[in-house]
Amino acid sequence: MPIKVGNVVEGTVTGITNFGAFVQLQEGQTGLVHISEISKDYVSKVSDYLKKDQKVKVKIIGIDKKGKISLSIKQASPKKSSNQPIEIDWSKKRRTQRNMSFEEKINRFLKDSNERQEQLKNRGNKKNNAFRGR
């Protein structure tokens, strides 16, 4: 398969640096997986995620004018995003809310909203703390 932006191919890690990993593609060309494209999680050490001679699936995300190939491991894997909205069974919600007064509904909404805001705040704090620990 020719090297083309958007293709997902298999390659072998040939070198690890503090800014990413070099991957030899099947076509004999080498590309770079930047540290930010290794995982959806924060990566402080590339060697915690990749080893030399490891086989990896990568997505070709760019080829510059000089022929340098940019690769991504995190974009090659199917999306399992936790940012997706949760599925809500509205039929159950409506049944329980029918028997509630307007004030009860508002209070429930505010409680749910505050809990969600707190979860988002905690998620942001974890990311900020990981960034400060560099």
User: Does the model's pTM come out above 0.75?
Assistant: no
Q: Which residues contact 34 (CB under 8 A, 6 or more apart)?
A: 19, 20, 70, 72
d(CA 103, CA 93): 16
d(CA 29, CA 68): 9
Q: What is the fold of 8-72?
A: OB fold (Dihydrolipoamide Acetyltransferase, E2P) (2.40.50)
pLDDT 10s digit of each residue in the chain, 134 long?
678 888 899 999 999 999 999 999 987 899 999 999 999 889 899 999 999 999 999 999 999 999 899 999 999 877 655 566 666 666 665 556 667 788 888 898 899 999 989 888 887 776 666 655 55
Q: How many residues does the chain have?
A: 134
Spatial contact of 32 and 78, defined as CB atoms under 8 Å apart: no
d(CA 21, CA 69): 12
